[in-house]
Chains A and B, each alone.
Chain A
Amino acid sequence: MKLKQIDINYRLYVIVVGCGRIGLEVATHLSDTGFDMTIVEKSPDALSALPENYGGFTIIGDATERDVLKRAKAEKADLLIATTGDDPTNYFVSLIGSKIFGITNVISLVRSKENVTLFENSGIRVISPINLAIETFQRSILEGVEPAAGDDK
């Protein structure tokens, strides 16, 4: 009985690297949802854009440096989300997270379409804004085009 209670009270701990437009939204949303959060961002200016009701921690520093991820308690993280604008940086941070700190779940933003395979082959879950946009467009276009009567599906 007691064990179960601990399970229920366990909150997932998420580290978001990069506080750009996407990182900021993701972090704010996750903290609203009730996750324990830390944002790691190099520039103090970018952090100042966080809304006042953001309930997580912030760390100023370069997430590719070990002591910065240590300060973020990366070894305790359940999920790491890399959202910087630079694919090599996201890749590097993701692999330090998974291979060195042993974070089981790593998701990364991948800006360039051609890099998606490399990330996926390295065990990183990928969010590709371009691919998402393409899929969304395709879906909405296809929805608008009703198959004409008599056409094969």
Chain B
Amino acid sequence: MKVIIIGGERVPYFLAKKLIASGYKVYFVNKDKELCEEYSRTLNATIIYGDGQSKAVLDHLGIEPDDIVVLLTERDRKNFFIARLVQEYYKVRNVVTFLNNSENEDLFDRYGIRTLKVTDLIMQNIEPLLFENEVVEMINDEASNRGATVLKVDVDWDSKIANKALHELKIPDGIVVVGIVREDKYLIPRGDTIIKPDDKLILICSEEQSKAAMEIFFL
């Protein structure tokens, strides 16, 4: 069984290195001549310079049904086309590909092509950050110039408020912690909520109390 990687730039390099280290035979197909030359020097793999969308090029590889084909070209339609070529002509069972546009998942599924939804993965990672920003901006819109300010506190490992319950901080009147962003969740805090390292606290305070807030949370 061999692993055939078509397209891509740096991902194939590290992927191939791992696969080779685990004892697999790796084939790498790419249209970029310089990249092919580089990888032929640095990787112990079979490097083929050519267009993976062309059956004539694929015919050189001696692809067999139990080979694994990994598609990393930049367009969904290209990856889909190559996936269908190898399924149709060499009866390959396992094809894995990047998917940029997640709405295409249904079509890939229909033909049994495995997909990694890159866009979705990134979105899942930044969504909490976006949400945190939106919350801060929203409160800020309402509060600023009306006697209140919004503060954001990043909690470090060595922060003095880390691993303490909110009520232990003895937060005075005029300062309210309105939210804690923890990993991908937004927590509505209570007095017994424990602040953890890597949390982000969102607080709102009156202008007079902003100095006191700084002292409690930052110093």
Give residues in A with beta carbon < 8 Å to B.
64-66, 87-89, 91-92, 95-96, 99-100, 112, 114-115, 117-118, 121-122
Contacts and interface: CB of A to CB of B under 8 A. Distances in A.
A66 B75 CA distance: 15
A121 B88 contact: yes
Contacts of B89: 118
A118 B85 contact: yes
A110 B153 CA distance: 59
Nearest to B56: A114
Interface in B95-110: 101, 103-104, 106-107, 110
A118 B78 CA distance: 14
Interface in B18-62: 53-56
Q: Taking chain A's interface residues, is the majority helix, strand, or loop, or is none over half, making it mixed? A: helix
Contacts of A115: 55
A121 B110 CA distance: 15
Interface string B58-96: 000000000000000001111011001100110000000
A123 to B, nearest CB: 12
B194 to A, nearest CB: 45
A88 B54 contact: no
Given A64-B77, A91-B77, A92-B80, A114 B107 contact: no
B81 A88 contact: yes
B201 to A, nearest CB: 39
Contacts of B101: 65
B187 to A, nearest CB: 36
B81 A92 contact: yes
Nearest to A115: B55
A71 to B, nearest CB: 14
B146 to A, nearest CB: 41
B103 A66 contact: yes
B24 to A, nearest CB: 28
B51 to A, nearest CB: 11
A96 B55 contact: no
A66 B104 CA distance: 8
Given A99-B107, A114-B54, A114-B56, A92 B88 contact: no
